[in-house]
Amino acid sequence: MRRRSLLALAGTVGIGVVGSVTDALPVFSVSSFAVSTEKAAPEHRWVLTVTERYAPDERESIDGEVVDLADLDAEMSSFLRAAVSDDDGMTQRAGRDELPDGLSTTLDRYEAVTGFPDTEDLCGFELWRRDPNRAPALAFDAELVDDRIAFGNPGRIELSVRNRSDERQSLFTGRHPPFGHQWAERTDTDRFVHLWHPDSPFGHLDPLATSISAVGMHHPVEPGQTQTQAYELRAGDRSLAVGEYEVTNELDYRPADAPWSAPYSRVEWRVGFELGR
């Protein structure tokens, strides 16, 4: 009897401790929720990308002529150097509305260019025509679903991407697409709050939640499809504090059937909100 009484007392104390801890957790509210987007690319009618890279010892195997960068005029050389510095095609430093004289002829004649200051590689190039006035194929949006953050009741934000085109699009993202890991940064300090979602295991965060691993991957978005991903602001997160926050990122995408060297289109997006008590 005494043992059962002690166990019952221990259980009561345990419940009391848990209750006192959860009662002590602050309750936050989310307000001033705002969404903005801006088309960032393409900005120009022409984009130059690197399609091939050859090591110096592969020069003899190149099936075509090779030209030295120093033998080209200054404007053309500058354009080619910009493309080499933007090897992933995302920042599109090698974008122009008007092409350097003779560029198309040079690219048709030579298989590769050598003599770049930042790499020993011999590089092959491709020129892409873009439409900077065309509306983005992918559209971003966000919604505040639950504005109260308390124990057992996380605040909830949904991010969505919609394919407005009649082509399948390939979105460059991280693990757990379409948006992967996201976090909200304080606008006045360097602090941040992690946005959790159901398939975000702790294994993808370090023990102090100060860094997040990222793995790049392509994710398909079908014509007319809207894909939504929910995120939570959880009570008990030690990073939660009163203040203004913003989540910023971009949609980098291109048609799913485009070659790997094709440039991306980009839509930059921002979600802003305020945490209060």
Report the C-alpha gap between 91 and 42 in whole angstroms. Answer: 10
3 state DSSP class of 138: strand
Longest dimension (CA), the chain: 97
What residue type is 143 in one-letter code? E
Domain boundary among 129, 148, 173: 129
Report the C-alpha gap between 109 and 88 in whole angstroms. Answer: 24
How many other CB atoms are found less than 10 A from the CB of residue 234?
Answer: 18
Q: What is the pLDDT of residues 79-128, one digit of tens each?
A: 999 999 876 556 666 899 999 999 999 999 999 999 999 899 999 999 99
Verify that 92 and 152 share a domain, yes or no.
no
What does the radius of gyration of the chain's CA atoms come to, in whole angstroms? 26
Tell me which residue range forms the domain holding 122: 46-129
Verify that 150 and 245 share a domain, yes or no.
yes
Please state whether the predicted TM-score (pTM) of the whole model is above 0.85. no
Q: Hey, what are 269's tokens?
A: 């997006």
Verify that 101 and 224 share a domain, yes or no.
no
Q: What is the pLDDT of residues 135-178, one digit of tens each?
A: 999 999 999 999 999 999 999 999 999 999 999 999 999 878 89
Phi, psi of 210 (to 5 degrees): -105, -5
Q: Hey, what are 132's tokens?
A: 């900077």
Q: What is the pLDDT of residues 33-57, one digit of tens each?
A: 999 999 999 999 999 999 999 999 9
Verify that 87 and 146 share a domain, yes or no.
no
Report the C-alpha gap between 277 and 241 in whole angstroms. Answer: 9
H or E segment at 21? helix 2-24
Is the pLDDT assigned to residue 71 strictly greater than 70? yes
Domains contained in the chain, number: 2
Verify that 77 and 159 share a domain, yes or no.
no
Q: What is the pLDDT of residues 209-250, one digit of tens each?
A: 444 555 678 999 999 999 999 999 999 888 999 999 999 999
Domain boundary among 72, 107, 129: 129
Verify that 249 and 150 share a domain, yes or no.
yes
